[in-house]
Amino acid sequence: MTTSNGPLGLDPALLEILACPDAHHSPLTVDEAASELVCTTCGRAFPVRDGIPVLLLDEARQRP
């Protein structure tokens, strides 16, 4: 088992392939202060809980 040493405890290789689950599938950026992954297109913020990204549209919040 490998350990994660990327932002929010996520594996950097995983961060490279994660995308918004909405139809446009845009890349996500990391907001470490808020413990969220943010879509570069729609602005939705997806929480990261205990090192696990929650990529459910119902769980996302719209950032101002």
**pTM, two decimal places:** 0.88
| SS3 state of residue 36 | strand
The torsion defined by the Cα of 37, 17, 11 and 32, in degrees rounded to 10, comes to -20
Give me the pLDDT at residue 10, please: 93
Q: What is the CATH number of domain 7-62?
A: 2.20.25.10
Residues 14-51, buried b or exposed e (16+ Cβ, 10 A)? ebeebebeeeeeeebebbeeeebbbbeebebbbbbeee
**Average pLDDT value for residue range 17-44:** 96
pLDDT at 5: 78
